[in-house]
Amino acid sequence: MSIKNLIKRFTKYELITGILCILLPFILIATNGGVLSSISAYAYSTVDFIYVFLLTIAGTLITVVGVRQNKRLIWIIGILLLFLPLTPYKDYKTIHLIASILFFIGISVDMIVDTQRLYQYRIFMVVTMVLAFVSYYILHVISLFWAESIAIIIFGVNFLLDLLKEKEDLEDVDVMNITYGNNE
């Protein structure tokens, strides 16, 4: 397999992951016919299978990307996301709550610590996520669904920004290999 084909394959996984995170809340709304109290509340709706499917696919893809990039925090975030559909909040309240809190903290830490480019933009995104949760937990002006949705959409956007930079880096390596006769 050529380096160019490998780049395309991994780019597809990461692109799907970013887009899935961005669309996840809207898919849940559209399939259920309305907004519930939280994303996790869809586990008890008539579209529970879609909730499980979307979070399982997103968690799996995030884990694969983390392993491929050798970024421990990313694959841990993916595993944490996999815990959510496996531990519905009414039945496994503590485990679900801990996994969801760690997931949202993890994506915030990843955006701040792991990335040097677009740092100010990423700080803005993290502040926006924090404000979304403050708006729910303290100000009570939005639902938990919208606070979670804002955070997961921001994570998807961040994932796509990482993808763009990583693709540029991989293509630069590919060009160097072709230029110096190291193409496999």
What is the rounded distance in angstroms from the CA atom of residue 179 to the CA atom of residue 4? 14
pLDDT single digits (tens) 118-172:
788 889 999 999 999 999 999 999 999 999 999 999 999 988 888 777 666 656 6
Place of tokens 């996840």: 24
The rounded percent of the chain whose pLDDT value lies above 90 is 64
Q: How confident is the model at residue 184 (pLDDT cuts 50, 70, 90)?
A: very low
- Burial tier of 34 (Cβ tally within 10 Å: 0-12, 13-18, 19+): exposed
Task: Give the distance between the most distant pair of CA atoms in the chain.
Answer: 61
pLDDT single digits (tens) 92-101:
999 999 999 9
**Two tokens at 95?**
């485990």
* pTM of the entire predicted model: 0.85
The domain locations on the chain are: 3-174
Q: How confident is the model at residue 80 (pLDDT cuts 50, 70, 90)?
A: very high
